Structure 1
């Protein structure tokens, strides 16, 4: 982890596609700035030394190359192999350095693939009853495991999140556990309990800027980078739900 002495703000790297959404970049940058960090955008053409970062956010975007988890590539699906390789290397480095890592949407899937897991390439082929939903508004209800770090950060058992994905975690990677699902069973959150902060969420908290619970993901990431992770204690079973 980069030395923080004398730094005004920790530096958090955000991975993205070369031609990725600038809206997503600005939303993440704002969320991280409000959490007390400076963000640097990392792409296959705009690299940055991972060992100079204090934390890493693996962002959303194109699908992941299926050959990375032993499946055949669907020619109808847009992939970005250069970004895949960038993020696999970044996660290798982050693991060696002990950097806190947050995966968002594709980023959550990449954490799983990096640890040897696999993906459902089309959730609607597996979860036929799942609603077809693509919106930045919080319309999808999920349930969070009460003994998880994600639970302790959000402080709630159920909440509504946004949904822009058509793939999801299938076989779990090494050391990961599922900590959130939607009603249809689709995985919405994963984490590594043995790590100070390695969490993947299938939704986009960067777009939920007015939701203080969701912004807590960025605050906790930054606090962990600063060496001040919050005390983690499983919350009791009797908890509230958010509309």
Structure 2
């Protein structure tokens, strides 16, 4: 009898343990606590990112990513293919590398200056364990330098690219022409953890979100090559949409789509909405008699102030996903910088604040 009771209780404990493990949130390694954020604020320098900058193609979206990284408190140093590794930035500490989109990857031309620098930067990231982000062509570069084939997007018998034939499906859901495809990221990658950290879904299933795709080539998945983890695929055609590789403490990350385009389009729409609310608020104030109805005028002012605040903070799930993707890189860069940054002595007031808010 006692043996059966013991076995029953053991079964209950095992079930509870399994349930607690399944409910445990995925761990995003590069979140920044208050102490680290304060260290970054007090630092004499900013974390430094090298951005491959090719004026012959891809600068529009490269500029958008640079703008995002700068807003996140990073210093971005453009390096052209002509500069190469002779650029003076390489004589100091580098905390991140960004490979942007651009013309199709000339995989059969090893003498192409841009391709040569891309390969050198991909190798530098791996050897020195520097966070690297490749977007669009940048992901294809990462794939090529890890032995994957870069091919044109498949076409059907009518020479249509199925990859771009689901715009209407996506638009019917979003009512936003920014998006033309959808990505699925399953468990088991650090990108998944970054998305889970940002989106805070209720369960741990696959995460889907809408994206902007602009590419004509893609990384072909290979059963014989597992040097990169395929973290995300297209919802409709299963093409590779995101990859990652741990190089030590940090990651090389590739994204085939353009999160920077999503963030920029959403920010532009947000500013238009804020402008419209301000115009409505101005007109509403003109329609109120401030002398005879001061309370109504005051309440009207509060109402529009709240509307402005709500509109400024509102972000769609797809925008949050795009920010999580770029945040995966930018947060790594900050951690990389803090690894060797001298720590300043905290004041007693700061120590009390951190203790009180922890």
Q: Which TM bucket (shorter chain)?
A: 0.7 to 0.9
- State whether structure 2 residue 112 is matched by structure 1 residue 57: no
Match of 1:110 in 2: 141
**Hey, what does 1:177 align to over in structure 2?**
229
Q: Does 1:216 align with 2:216?
A: no
Distance 2:49 2:177 in 1: 23
Matching of residues 94-173 of structure 1 within 5 Å: 94-124=125-155, 129-132=162-165, 137-155=178-196, 157-172=207-222
Q: What TM-score, normalized to structure 1?
A: 0.77
Counterparts of 2:43 and 2:123, CA distance in 1:
27
For 1:207 and 1:68, locate their aligned partners in 2 and report how far apart those are by CA, in whole Å: 29
Question: Could you list the per-position Cα deviations for residues 149-193 of structure 1 after superposition, in whole angstroms to 9, with x for gaps in the alignment?
Answer: 111112260000001001111145552021111121111111114
Show the counterpart of 2:121: 90
Distance 2:231 2:67 in 1: 26
Instruction: State yes or no: 1:205 paired with 2:259.
Output: yes
Residue 163 to residue 147, structure 1, CA distance change in 2 (3 Å): same
Determine which of 81, 93, 98 is the counterpart of 1:44. 81
Q: Distance in 2 between matches of 1:163 and 1:10?
A: 29
Structure of higher RCO (CA pairs closer than 8 Å, 6+ residues apart): 1
Displacement after TM superposition at 1:88 (Å): 0.4
Residue 58 of structure 2 contacts residue 100 of structure 2 at CA under 8 Å; is this kept in 1?
Answer: no
How many matched pairs? Answer: 216
* Bigger radius of gyration among the two: 2
Q: Indicate how the Cα distance of structure 1 residues 180 and 56 shifts in structure 2: closer, same or farther if over 3 A, else same.
A: same
Distance 2:233 2:243 in 1: 9
Q: Secondary structure at the match of 1:85?
A: helix
Gaps of 5+ in 1: 70-79, 230-243
* Distance in 1 between residues matched to 2:148 and 2:109, nearest whole Å: 9
Aligned CA-pair RMSD:
3.0
Q: Contact 2:134 / 2:255 at 8 angstroms: preserved in 1? A: yes
What is the CA–CA distance in structure 2 between the aligned matches of 1:131 and 1:153, rounded to whole Å? 27
Supply the distance in 2 between the matched residues of 1:125 and 1:36 (Cα, whole angstroms).
Answer: 45
State yes or no: 1:20 paired with 2:70: no
**How far apart are 1:109 and its partner, in Å?**
0.7
Deviation, 1:128, is 5.3
Q: In 2, are the aligned partners of 1:136 and 1:162 still within 8 Å (CA)? A: no
Contact 1:28 1:206 in 2 (8 A): yes
| Bigger mean CA deviation after superposition, 48-57 or 180-189 | 48-57
TM-score for the superposition, normalised by structure 2? 0.54
Which secondary structure state, in structure 2, belongs to the residue aligned with residue 13 of structure 1?
Answer: strand
